[in-house]
Amino acid sequence: MSAAAPATPTSPYRLAIQPGKSIEELKTALIERFAATVDPADRWDLTLLVSRDRLHEAAAFLRDDLALRFDVLLDVIGIDYLSFPDHRAERFAVTYLFKSTVFRHRLKLKVRLDEDDATIASLTDLYPIAEWHERETWDQFGIVFAGHPNLKRLLNHHEFQGHPLRKDYPCQKRQKLSLNDPMLDQLEARLKAKGYQVVSAANGSAQTGAGA
Partner 1 sequence: MRTIAPGGDHVDLMTINLGPSHPATHGTLRLFAALDGENVIAAVGEMGYLHRGFEKMIEQGTYQQVLPYTDRLNYCSAMMNNIGFCKSVEKMFGITPPERCIRLRVVLLELSRIIDHLVCICTNLVDLGALTNFWYFFNTREEVYTIWEKLCGARLTNTVTRIGGMYRDAYPGFADDVRRVLGRVEHAVAEVRGLIEHNKIFIDRTKDICPISAEQAVAWGWTGPCLRACGVDRDLRKDEPYYGYEEYQFDTVIGTSGDTFDRMMVRMLEILESVSITRQALDKLKPGPVNTTDARLSLPDRQRVYHDMEALINSFKLIYEGVRPPAGECYDAIEAANGELGFLIVSDGGTNPYRIKVRPPCFTQWAAFPGMMEGAMVPDLAAALGSINIIAGELDR
118-137 residues near partner 1, rule: CB under 8 A: 127-129, 131-132
CA angle 132, 118, 70 (to 5 degrees): 45
Give the residue with the Cβ less far from partner 1, 71 or 90.
71
The minimum distance between CB 191 and partner 1, in angstroms, equals 5
Q: Taking CB under 8 A as the rule, does residue 144 contact partner 1?
A: no
The window from 27-35, 50-58, 116-124, 196-204 that contacts partner 1 (CB under 8 A) reads 196-204
> Pairing state of beta strands 103-104 and 18-19?
parallel
Among 155, 159, 162, 177, binds partner 1 (CB under 8 A): 155
Give the residue with the Cβ less far from partner 1, 33 or 155.
155
Give the residue with the Cβ less far from partner 1, 81 or 144.
81
Q: Taking CB under 8 A as the rule, does residue 191 contact partner 1?
A: yes
Please list every residue from 80 through 99 that binds partner 1, using CB under 8 A. Answer: 80, 84-85, 95, 97
Burial class (CB in 10 A: 0-12, 13-18, 19+), 1: exposed
The minimum distance between CB 54 and partner 1, in angstroms, equals 20
Instruction: Read off the DSSP letter of residue 6.
Output: P
Give the residue with the Cβ less far from partner 1, 5 or 32.
5
CA neighbor of 118 nearest in space, from 78, 168, 74, 160: 78
The minimum distance between CB 126 and partner 1, in angstroms, equals 9
The minimum distance between CB 102 and partner 1, in angstroms, equals 10
* Inter-CA distances, 57 with 77, 96, 151, Å: 19, 14, 21
- DSSP structure string for 131-194: HHHHHHHHHHH--EEET-TT---SSS-TT--S-TTSTTS-TT------PPP--HHHHHHHHHHT
Q: What's the CA gap between 145 and 84, in Å, rounded?
A: 24
Give the residue with the Cβ less far from partner 1, 146 or 191.
191
Q: What's the CA gap between 45 and 113, in Å, rounded?
A: 22
- Which amino acid, 16? A
Give the residue with the Cβ less far from partner 1, 33 or 104.
104
The minimum distance between CB 154 and partner 1, in angstroms, equals 6
Please list every residue from 9 through 68 that binds partner 1, using CB under 8 A. Answer: 11, 13-17, 39, 41-45, 47
